[in-house]
Amino acid sequence: MSDSSSSANGATSGQPYPYRFGEVGVMMGVLKREQVRSALDRQAQQRQTGRAAQIGQVLVELGVLNQRQVVAVLVAQKRLRTEQGLPQDAVASADPPPLAPRTSERKSRSGTSTAKHPPVGARAEEPARRSSSRRATAPAEAPPAVAPAAKSKRQTLGSFELIRQLGEGSMGAVFEAQDQEQNRRVALKVLPKNLASDAEFLARFKREVKTLSALNHPNIVAYLGAGQTGGYSYLSMEFVDGNSLSQRLKREKRIPEADALHICKEMAQALAYAHNLSLIHRDIKPENVLLTSDGRVKLIDFGLGKSQEDTSKLTAVGMSIGTPHYLSPEQALGKEHIDHRADLYSVGATLFQMLTGQVPFDHASSTQVMVMHVKQPPPDPRSLVPGISRGAAQLTLKLLAKEPDQRYASADELIAALERVMAGKPPDAAPTREVGGTGKKLPRTGGLLSRVKRGPQGCLSVLFLMVGAVAFATWLHRFL
């Protein structure tokens, strides 16, 4: 996207392309207009020397943005133009290479919310909030090259008999399948041939396999195996017979507070385990929370997850990945370092929806939703549903703090706060009296009355002291 005009919102060659790179960056809060003007001036100077650098690259050279933030603005720009129904040729002509995402990326990552990540073992989800024309990938079908089993009309993939498609997303389709070798029902994620041949997508798929293989927790869907056959890569996972939290919310709209806190606690337990392995999920949302028939919670889709030590390009180009309605401010801004507290923010957005029946921020434009996460304070849940307890509201708002340092420090700390709220107590424990940094409690001071107990017994003690003092004064007056 080349902002080659003299202003952030100008047109190129007289053609008015809305939502230019600089304009979108200013909307997102990662750029100031004077920075865009400086970059445009430098871009014009470079053109005189025969160099045609894009505005995003110029901003990187000036040290204003990093590459992750450039991609974040590119993704938001494309999403805004798509939402406005701009002709694709206009979008393409306004976004020449090299900074624009590659063709394979545009098909799979047109924005943080366009890809639909299916629940494992649950029914296919409801349509995305926006038009189906904006789906990240074409609907995946059962592998067409796989021959049907000899005595069945069902298709097979290696030793797996495909029963039905459960959903599909940017990384392929998920099927309910029968593992004929192990004689068990599984959820099978299949990467289509056209994506399996793409080095970046294959790397991301292998990363999910590596990620899941390290996880073993009752609140995380179990990984069973992976392989390749007939040109397809696949991932075999535990089949969960149940519905997603998204389906329950669609059916009930709001969830009773006790149930919502229980679900949130089990989500936090799964994240505490993953975070202790230095793994961040990065896409916590109701679609990725399964509710089993026996009342347990299973967290799924760690395909977007990353290690906090991961600095690969694959992670860098996906920094704004996630779903806008549950995305943390630091993810929306494309910040370089995202830690586990981004997951806690997404848990807060999910809890907010469970308690109130609506997401904390909503708008027809998903980019505007991201801007609201960054700049607008969330409403108090009790202003929407007065019956919500004060403790649950306080906990939710702390999770939705703009700055990570103002949220709970860890998932374990969140679990402790949830347990206090579930017990009818304030979410944060009362601070103890300490001396400096020693941790020792201060002794009571203030004389005799400071040692008197509070409450009814304390009142009687004070009354007896007063009566005794009066009697003593009367005796002393007579004696004198």
The phi, psi pair for 82, rounded to 5°, reads -65, -40
Tokens of 343: 């997951």
Whether 144 contacts 264, CB under 8 Å: no
Q: Which residue has the tokens 């304070």?
A: 377
Tokens of 302: 């760690």
Q: Are strands 184-191 and 242-244 parallel, antiparallel or unpaired?
A: unpaired
The per-residue DSSP string of 319-378 comes to: TT-S-GGG--HHHHTT-S---THHHHHHHHHHHHHHHHSS-SS--SSHHHHHHHHHHSPP
The closest of 330, 316, 318 to 373, measured between CA atoms, is 330
Q: Which residue has the tokens 């607008």?
A: 376
Tokens of 195: 């994506």
Q: Which residue has the tokens 């943390």?
A: 328
Beta-bridge partner residues of 242: 292
What's the Cα-to-Cα distance from 65 to each of 37, 58, 68, 366, rounded to whole Å?
14, 9, 8, 22
C-alpha span between 2 and 57 (Å, rounded): 10
Out of 3, 95, 179, 283, the active site residue is: 283
The closest of 212, 88, 82 to 134, measured between CA atoms, is 82
Handedness of CA 95, 101, 102, 107 (dihedral sign): negative
Q: Would you call 467 helix, strand, or coil by DSSP? A: helix
The closest of 249, 248, 263, 255 to 385, measured between CA atoms, is 255
Tokens of 122: 């649950």
The phi, psi pair for 76, rounded to 5°, reads -65, -40
89 is catalytic: no
Task: Report the b/e string of 179-197 with b at 16+ CB within 10 A.
Answer: beeeeeebbbbbbbeebbe
- In Å, how far from its chain's centre is CA 377? 17
Q: Cite the DSSP H helix spans in 185-256.
A: 193-196, 199-213, 245-252
Q: Which residue has the tokens 């919102």?
A: 9
What's the Cα-to-Cα distance from 381 to each of 71, 234, 359, 416, rounded to whole Å?
33, 42, 10, 21
Handedness of CA 61, 64, 69, 72 (dihedral sign): negative
Whether 264 contacts 350, CB under 8 Å: yes
Residues annotated as part of the active site: 283
